[in-house]
Amino acid sequence: MSQVHTSSFTNVGRTRFWQRGFLASQSAYVLAALVVLIVVMSLLSPNFMTGGNISNITRNFSFIAIATLGITLVIITGGIDLSVGSTIALSATITSLTMNALNTAQFYPFPGSALAVALVAGLLAAAAVGLFNGLAIAKLKLSPFVTTLGTLSMVRGLVYVTTQGRGTFPAGPDKELFLAVTAGKLFDVVPVSFLYLVICAAVMWVALNHTAWGKHVFAIGSNENAGRLTGVNVDRVKIQVYVLCSVAAGINGIIISGWLGSAPANLATAYELTIIAAAVIGGANLAGGVGGAAGAIIGCVLIEVIRNGLVLARVDPYWQQTLVGAIIVAAVLVDRLRSSRNG
């Protein structure tokens, strides 16, 4: 009897746990690199692992991290937003201009009212930039790169026009409150900006992984046409993504201006490149379809740790840019090698 018995025959093997999910993503490799870097830094410099320094790093990366979350959404859909730096300046400027105007107009019905109105005005201004980008890209089918390159310049120009290039300062009865909610520290340790970042990241993670909207964002990035054919409202999701990105940049703008205590007209010039770099290092793929909240934060932390570490190690700070650039290429290269191995 030579009966062949293969009752559980299958030609498709199970993928191992490290070949799937977060552990198989570029974000995980970069996280590993980050951990190594932190260990090396703490060995090299006794000041690195001190409470003050960690608090500093946390605050500094929070400055760009919320905008990085936003741009990660845009990058997942296969787009790009170059106008985030200008949007940061716009929302900071509008917020402080509104506080000044309310102060001059003696509008102060209840404590915190001036701040609330100013914050809403700043974020609405940012949202308007996003709406413009989104409409132009989704409805008029303009290229995201060129459109947002245009808004980068237009929005920066508007900031200079409204302030005559001089910059503005938050003023009025809510000034102290403004500084407390933007640059304050929770229990004198945790920067509030970090708290906002954690909240934004958590919301984004849930939205991307546990809502239909999140799946649509990924679907648009990997096959926009498939999304259209299966009834996904591609245009609406794209517009939403650009608005969210600009609002995220707006939040960051308000936080930065709170820490600086002013909103200079040249605030966050060229930040878009750092923000895109952070998103890409963290695993967002400019071709679309890949990215996540965790990766965005990991990218920001890595850039800040390098910057901070180089300062502590008394390395010429001009090396910073060179190193960040090298890491962008290295991160993408590692991902390329890994995906070519997996076929």
Per CB under 8 A, residues contacting another protein are: 1-12, 15, 206, 210-212, 215-216, 218-219, 221-223, 225-232, 289-290, 342
Task: Provide, rounded to whole angstroms, the least separation between the CB of residue 276 and another protein.
Answer: 20
Taking the least distance from each CB to another protein, the nearer of 161 and 229 is: 229
Taking the least distance from each CB to another protein, the nearer of 100 and 223 is: 223
Task: Provide, rounded to whole angstroms, the least separation between the CB of residue 222 and another protein.
Answer: 4
Task: Provide, rounded to whole angstroms, the least separation between the CB of residue 343 and another protein.
Answer: 8
Tokens 């790009």: give the residue: 80
Taking the least distance from each CB to another protein, the nearer of 15 and 50 is: 15
CA max distance for the chain = 99
Task: Provide, rounded to whole angstroms, the least separation between the CB of residue 74 and another protein.
Answer: 16
List the end-to-end C-alpha distance of the chain, in Å, as a whole number.
Answer: 41
Task: Provide, rounded to whole angstroms, the least separation between the CB of residue 57 and another protein.
Answer: 32
Nearest to 221 by CA among 272, 130, 291, 275: 291
Crossing angle (nearest 10°) for helices 212-222 and 51-76: 70
Instruction: Please report the beta strands in the chain, taking only residues with DSSP state E, as ranges in sequence order.
Output: 185-186, 190-191
What's the CA gap between 153 and 250, in Å, rounded? 16
Taking the least distance from each CB to another protein, the nearer of 78 and 191 is: 78
What's the CA gap between 209 and 76, in Å, rounded? 13
Nearest to 81 by CA among 239, 299, 308, 316: 239
Taking the least distance from each CB to another protein, the nearer of 146 and 210 is: 210
Taking the least distance from each CB to another protein, the nearer of 10 and 164 is: 10
Task: Provide, rounded to whole angstroms, the least separation between the CB of residue 291 and another protein.
Answer: 10
What's the CA gap between 322 and 119, in Å, rounded? 36
Tokens 């509104």: give the residue: 98
- Residue pair 92/303 in contact by the 8 Å Cβ criterion: no
